[in-house]
Amino acid sequence: MISPLHKAFIKNIHLFNELADNQLGQVYDHARICNLSKEQPLFAQGENVEKFYMVYSGLVKLFRVSADGQEKVIEIVTPGQTFGEALMFLDHAEYPVSATALNEAEVIAFDSRQFVKMLDGSSETCLLLLGAMSQRIRGLVQEIDNLSVQNGRHRLSSYLLDLAGDRSCFKLPVPKAVLASRLSIQPETFSRIIKQLKTASAINIDGSNVEIVDRDQLEEYAMI
Amino acid sequence: MISPLHKAFIKNIHLFNELADNQLGQVYDHARICNLSKEQPLFAQGENVEKFYMVYSGLVKLFRVSADGQEKVIEIVTPGQTFGEALMFLDHAEYPVSATALNEAEVIAFDSRQFVKMLDGSSETCLLLLGAMSQRIRGLVQEIDNLSVQNGRHRLSSYLLDLAGDRSCFKLPVPKAVLASRLSIQPETFSRIIKQLKTASAINIDGSNVEIVDRDQLEEYAMI
DNA sequence: TAAATAGTTTGATTTTGATCAATTACATAT
DNA sequence: ATATGTAATTGATCAAAATCAAACTATTTA
């Protein structure tokens, strides 16, 4: 059973917004809390899809492991974000990625089959879900663009600006090697690009504490 | 007005399968045929989304143009495939790519607003659409994987196997430079990788005629 | 506190693919 | 058939990032 706190959290997520109370009740009934310790896997690439997930607290990494064992982080999922929901509409789908907690994390699991069945009546929520998936597609296209026409410095600069939001100081949420993998660069290269940005006094960094010194310049790097 | 031939074509596409006759009628009423000549643009990156499209004949390339003017082909769309439909669920969306005919092509344009309105009643079609978008997401994740952990030879080998299907001989559907862009490599590199594959007698190629000589070996290249 | 371990940085070298430049092959039109 | 322009290939060089190896730092653990 999930707590009122979790229910309130779920209800506030955009995706669940248009659900009627009885539908929401059904969702709650089929939802389960997963308490994950650091490095604990949630599911692995290739497993059959039965659930989709929302992060309640902590961070979860989605990653792929290549034949030669190296892993590539596809996304770092933060609280309030869902993942795996795109797969519930495919028959006999397998997870295309693995999911593991980056630190102690609480994740809410939803039953895919039940959710699809429930959607059958609710075209408003279908449309919301379609909207959510559209945005994800747009993000993925952007990512492909980043990977194919942009270089490592560009990707790192953009990512830092993204993490910063409107703050000028912030903390890297995960080890640098994880960010490096997310950006498809090696840790060594990550370190060298950081050094470049520091030398150019676009940023300042001490451990995981980042200060954006010259935002204009960083945005310059993030472009072209 | 669209012809019975076009109507039959539309009706057979999976996405439109679950529509009732009156819904299908509405779709037909709002559909328009675009006859495109070679290199004719259909829409450009940044334009407001009002329609989505299906290729009836010919080939359409979806591509992004970077700030310094170089273009990267995201996808080559073949007859029966739709594009732009993922955007109809976003308010005030802009096309994230440009679309241009690669050769003489016939494309069917659907009115996005009308289609969404019609979907409101038809949760079956919503679910189909969700399924279609799921598959697209899966493809994009695969593509990100290709770009980030795989090299040019891998991507080219995979793509050739993909084009071949179960045939051992086939024709490249578009100029090599277009394929190169689709695979995020330069034409020169494309040419050199082809030479490698030929030297290794995995394939044979004369102009745009490709023969798969040693499928096992090509699959070998496509892995890891 | 010291030892062990994981994370990060730095240097040297190699690899991959991009870029520049020139040539060759091919297609279309006059 | 020849000329023109486009596409494709080839060679030489360059740049970015990966890899290998080592040093260094921070964090746990004993």
- Whether the per-residue pLDDT at A179 is higher than 80: the answer is yes
**pLDDT tens across B43-102, in order?**
999 999 999 999 999 999 999 988 778 899 999 999 999 999 999 999 899 999 999 999
Place of tokens 């496509």: B222
Residue type, B67: A
Residues in chain A, overall count: 224
Q: Please, which residues bridge with residue B41 across strands?
A: B100
How many contacts (CB atoms, under 8 Å) link A and B?
A: 135
Q: A87 vs chain B: nearest CA distance in angstroms?
A: 6
Nucleotide nearest to A180 (CA to C1'): C8
**pLDDT tens across B164-202, in order?**
999 999 999 999 999 999 999 999 999 999 999 999 999
What is the per-residue pLDDT for A62? 96
Nearest residue to A151 via CA among A94, A92, A58, A221:
A221
Question: Please, what's the b/e burial string for A28-60 (b: 16 or more CB within 10 A of its CB; e: otherwise)?
Answer: bebbeebebeeeeebbeeeeebebbbbbbebbb
What is the per-residue pLDDT for A156? 96
Task: Please report, for residues A17, B87, B95, B176, B210, the alpha-carbon distance to residue B92 in angstroms, rounded to integers and kept in the order given.
Answer: 21, 9, 10, 36, 44
Contact: B134, A87; criterion CB under 8 Å:
yes
Number of H helices, E strands in chain B: 8, 11
Which parts of B65-202 fold into alpha helices (H)? 112-119, 123-149, 152-164, 176-182, 187-199
Contact: A122, B127; criterion CB under 8 Å:
no
Residue B71 neighbours by CB under 8 Å, 6+ apart: B63, B64, B65, B181
Interhelix angle for A152-164 vs A123-149, to 10°? 140
- Please give, chain by chain, protein residues whose CB is below 7 Å from any atom of strand D: A 151-153, 184-186, 188-189, 193, 207; B 175-177, 187-188, 190-192, 194-195, 205, 208
Contact: B149, A86; criterion CB under 8 Å:
no
- Whether the per-residue pLDDT at A1 is higher than 70: the answer is yes
Structure-model confidence comparison of residues A150 and A35, the more confident one? A35
Measure the N-to-C terminal CA separation of chain B; round to a whole number of Å.
Answer: 50
What is the per-residue pLDDT for B68? 78
CA A41 → C1' C20, Å?
Answer: 49
Report the residue of B141, B158, B184 to disrupt the A interface, i.e. the one with the largest count of A CBs within 10 Å: B141
Residue type, A27: V
A163-174: average pLDDT: 95
What is the per-residue pLDDT for B55? 97
- Look at phi and psi of residue B101 and say left if phi exceeds 0, alpha if psi is from -120 to 50, else beta: beta
Place of tokens 């279609």: B132
Nucleotides on chain C that have an atom closer than 7 A to a protein CB are: 7-12, 16-21, 26-27
What is the per-residue pLDDT for A49? 96
Q: A153 vs chain B: nearest CA distance in angstroms?
A: 15
CA B56 → C1' D19, Å?
Answer: 48
**pLDDT tens across B102-140, in order?**
999 999 999 999 999 998 878 888 998 999 999 999 999
**pLDDT tens across A29-85, in order?**
999 999 999 999 999 999 999 999 999 999 999 999 987 788 999 999 999 999 999
Any idea what the Cα angle at residue B84 is, between residues B123 and B96, rounded to 5°?
A: 130
The DSSP string of B58-114 is S-EEEEEE-TTS-EEEEEEE-TT-EESGGGTTSTT-B-SSEEEESSSEEEEEEEHHH
CB interface of B with A, residues 70-129, below 8 Å: 70, 72, 74, 86-90, 93, 96-97, 116, 119-124, 126-127, 129
Residues on chain B touching A147 (C-beta within 8 angstroms): 144, 147-148, 184
Residues in chain B, overall count: 224
What is the per-residue pLDDT for A224? 57
